[in-house]
Amino acid sequence: MLNALRDNTKTGFLKYILLGFLLMAGGGLVLTDVGGFFRGGNFGNHDVAKGGGVTIGVQEFDRTVRRVLGAQGISPQEAYRLGLINQILASEIQQRLLTRETQNLGIHVGDDDVMTQISKLTTSIAAAGGQNKSDAIRQILRQQGISEEEFINSIRQETGNTLLRGALLSGAGVVPPALVSDYYRFEKQTRDIDAIVLTSESVTGIDQPTDDQLKKYYDANKLEYAIPETRSLTLAVLNTAMLKKEIAVTDGQIQKYYDDNIARYTKPERRNVQQAVVSDPAQAEKITSAVKDGASLKDAVISVTGDAKAYLAEDDYQQSGLLPEISAPVFAGKEGDVIGPIETELGNHVMKITKILPPDTVPLMDVKKEITDTLSHAQSVDTMLNLSTEVDDRLAGGESLETIVKEYGLTTETLSHVRANGVTDKGTKVLKSFESDRAKILAQAFEFNEGETTPLVELDDGRFATVRIDQVTPSSYKPFDDVRDSLRKRWIKEQKDLTNRARALDVVKQLESDSASMADVAKKAGGKLERLSNLTRTQTAPKILGPVAHAKIFTSDKASPFMAETEDGILVINVTDIKLGSADKASTSDLDALTRAEKSGFANEVLGSFVNDIGQHAEVKINQRLLDMMYGATPDNTGTP
């Protein structure tokens, strides 16, 4: 199996395996902390999670994070801020716990089962065209950041996990019709309410604050009037373009590289093969007989099956690029031989050898440019590293940035009054052309003091950059006199909000203890009474309610008044009537949809409970401090206003 994946220069189906694997991975667990893993833990700087037979190293987890987020265009720091990093880690732990449990239960997935899974994944796309097979697989492996071995192991683990999930969920597919009927009635219920609207603007009798009160209020909320520290900077970049004149690749270096890597440019013996694959053994026999009688393989396939899709275009194969069952007879045959039928997991193969290609070597001239580019790149990297060290030493020795810029031809950019989050005091975002390196450059710029020049930092594109801190304007606060009017308005609004909340609490108490009507209580409290009928759970929330209050209505009991905040104030709501839906009015499509939803819900509950149980017993600990260090400490995530 490994040989079939390795060096698969001409294997018709292998280039689609990884795509199918990505589809299979969609059946995994949801990204939630089902097992309650995030209980803390601090155990060194090399593992982000450990315990219960699970160990996730920092490098492998970082590769997973960047692979998952890369397709979404989200940076790891933004994902950390949104809580996605912990979700990705929880999902990784869940999958590994399931894998461990499959092993504990004696579930073993052998090579044959893995190949069967591969064939199932590739059935629908095996006939599709595309780029060179080997290049396609290498490209996908590179994009996903995994090796062939990691890919095969992942299929093996996921297949085992799927078997375990299937056993767990085997009983979750039965949903009693009575339950579906009750759920329909529950979902289609309607509710009537009375609501007293109490707006903060209707509150009166609030005295104007004194200056002493405002000053105390200002001091208590001073951080909200902070003016963040800003820095004026000079960014200097050491560009690779300036190194081209110093780079020269000789013919002798090219010849030596070619000789040292001759195996890379040597092609083994190959076979040009026409091939057909059909599922019916009897059809395969008929195709073989027809070809031996003189028909072309393609014509024989069409004649026997009526469909040309079973015929694979002629191609040349290395021996390691064919399945083991067919590679030996193909490479033992002679030009013109008809091989088959041979049965494999993919079907019944009939092949014709059209040409034998002897071993040969790609001439040096054909790959000279490729080798020159490789050696030039290696030289430029070495030269850049040596040059950056030289520049660092001279800056550390006290030479001015202007001298270095002039001598080495660095490009410069001036940034004025930049905050730690990369935005100027005027609200302009800086370093737009350095987006992937923005956080790295800003971290350097805010680590050193005024007048200092930072060491060179390597950028993602191979260049190096240094930053001089020209001016530091310390953080300060807007003066009290400048914000007095806004403070007064804010203070009065907060007092009105507090008074309105106290008024709403009194209304709830009256409704709970008195026999007074909603209308009387509303009039006494200075509120407005609104009545809404036939509200449904799935409708768009009426503007007067808003989505939060609307949702709460359907979780509250009848005649149990409650408070709900809205944009305009507070509502005191009382559910006056509840009517369940009628199952007799349910359409077949509605009931089918509810049945599917209940099946999915049962499955998630069963799987969630199982993972939660093994997770609690595994006692997996999370190195949260390391996660914070890896993804949390960036200028864009400092919380600076």
Segments of the chain with pLDDT less than 70: 1-45, 71-73, 116-148, 171-173, 240-246, 615-618, 633-641
CA distance 185 to 584: 10
DSSP class of residue 232 equals: E
Q: What is the CATH number of domain 269-358?
A: 3.10.50.40
Q: Could you identify the residue written with the tokens 């092609």?
A: 267
Domain ranges of the chain: 2-171+606-637, 190-226+481-579, 234-242+381-474, 269-358
CA distance 508 to 514: 10
Say yes or no: domain 2-171+606-637 is CATH 3.40.720.
Answer: no
What is the overall mean pLDDT for the chain?
80
CATH of 234-242+381-474, one of 3.40.50, 1.20.144, 3.10.50, 3.10.20: 3.10.50
* CB burial string 445-466: b at 16+ within 10 A, e below: bbebeeeebbebbebeeebbbb
pLDDT of residue 91: 85
> Does this chain's domain 234-242+381-474 share its CATH topology with 269-358?
yes
Q: What are phi and psi of 463, to 5 degrees?
A: -75, 170
Q: Could you identify the residue written with the tokens 């994902």?
A: 79
Q: How far apart are the first and last CA of the chain?
A: 57
3-state secondary structure of 529: strand
Question: Which residue pairs, CB below 8 angstroms and at least 24 apart, start in 200-203?
Answer: 200/493, 200/496, 200/497, 200/499, 200/500, 200/568, 200/569, 201/496, 201/568, 201/569, 202/500, 202/526, 202/527, 202/569, 203/496, 203/499, 203/500, 203/503
pLDDT of residue 71: 61
pLDDT of residue 485: 94
Q: What are phi and psi of 181, to 5 degrees?
A: -65, -45
Reading across the β-sheet that carries 338-344, which strands appear in turn? 311-318, 270-278, 347-357, 338-344
CA distance 349 to 137: 23
pLDDT of residue 106: 83
Contact (CB, 8 A) for 21 and 162: no
pLDDT of residue 241: 63
pLDDT of residue 45: 55
pLDDT of residue 493: 93
Tokens linked to 630: 């890896």
pLDDT of residue 398: 85
Q: Which residues contact 70 (CB under 8 A, 6 or more apart)?
A: none
CA distance 510 to 322: 83
Contact (CB, 8 A) for 117 and 156: no
pLDDT in tens, 433-458: 888 888 889 998 999 999 999 888 88
